[in-house]
Amino acid sequence: MSQVATYAQRLAALPRALAILELHPAGLPLADLAGELGVAPVDLREVFMAYYLADLVELGNFEQPVVEFFAPDAGDDDPATAQWVRVVTQDPEQELGVDHLSAEQLGRLFEAGTDLLALEPDNQTLRSTLDVFQAALWPAEGPSGAGWRASTAQQLHQAAQDRRRVRITYVRQWHPGSGERVIEPYRLVRTRRGWEVDAGPADDIASVRTFLVSGIQTCDVLDEQFEAPDGVDALLSKQRKPVTVELVVPQERRWAVDRYAESVMVLADDEESVSLRADLLPPVEQRLGVLLLCCGPEAFVMDPASLATAGESMAENLLAHHTG
């Protein structure tokens, strides 16, 4: 491995290291933290030293966590030899800890934790931590059991490997209401929207459907097994093939495009609006329809012309549902 690649690998451990330290305001032994990350203590110290020295320079970012080397009984210690490390904020009135995090920050951290738990279902330390987060997020009501979303993702992942059908209750993303159905999970995918499962069986509308795990209310793995259809890899590839759409949206609503698109490129912008090229996954018309509704009446599609009425169609469907 080249020197650049080796350093890049070490640097990749930094965000995880900071995230772990933020959950331990009292700090951790450097050796224990390195073991948790699967890197050598000397390599982790090197990365922390670079980060520490950067913090000594005025960066103008007061939300950036500051690394502090210390000895438990003596306070600050020499960064080159200190055995303990912790993070603090540049604002002494804002100490790190779950009790001082906003609800939005708690939600993001909880989502990251449930994603990790889906891949590490036997991690009891993480599961118990999610219990605390869940109590903070939903003190009176909400899904029962730690890492409920991670458990659902793990069930679907295992069902896909075992080729077992799954009965789900699903809150539909593109149409109002919810319903129960039996699916044949082909694979679990992690996207910017969270966990998603691509599943069959094929029907008159689609060969493969995608379900957001966040929209699954109940999940019951059945004893029934299924056979994957011929050419399933090609079907899954087609399901994940994006369609490029060019559109104009108000500047303050650009977040909606970032949320629903796989990638976004700015074509032109001014103070009021922005022209974008967005790649959308199927179902493109429905996904684009929701996006346009979020962006308001000033948003419109430039290309392709066949999708120009996607917002109107979605609005009509919603109106018919709620007035019918």
Lowest mean pLDDT among 33-37, 104-108, 311-315: 104-108
Q: How far apart are CA 259 and CA 254, in angstroms?
A: 9
Mean pLDDT of the 120-131 span: 71
Residue 147: pLDDT band with limits 50, 70, 90: very low
Mean pLDDT of the 77-104 span: 57
Q: Is 97 left (phi over 0), alpha (psi -120 to 50) or beta?
A: left
**What is the pTM (predicted TM-score) of this model?**
0.48
Q: What is the DSSP string of 19-77?
A: HHHHT-TT-EEHHHHHHHHTS-HHHHHHHHHHHHHHHTS--S-TTS-EEEEEETTTEE-
**Residue 31 corresponds to which amino acid?**
A
Mean pLDDT of the 215-235 span: 89
Tokens of 111: 């989502």
Specify the length of the chain in residues: 324
Please state whether the peptide bond connecting residue 201 to the residue before it is cis, i.e. omega within 30 degrees of 0: yes
Tell me what pLDDT residue 171 has.
Answer: 80
Q: Which CATH class is domain 243-323?
A: alpha beta
User: Are 290 and 252 in contact, with CB atoms under 8 Å apart?
Assistant: no
Tens digit of each residue's pLDDT (9 = 90 or more) over 36-58:
888 888 888 877 776 655 544 44
Mean pLDDT of the 176-183 span: 78
Tens digit of each residue's pLDDT (9 = 90 or more) over 248-281:
999 988 888 888 888 899 999 888 999 999 999 8
Tokens of 282: 């199927």
Mean pLDDT of the 109-129 span: 70
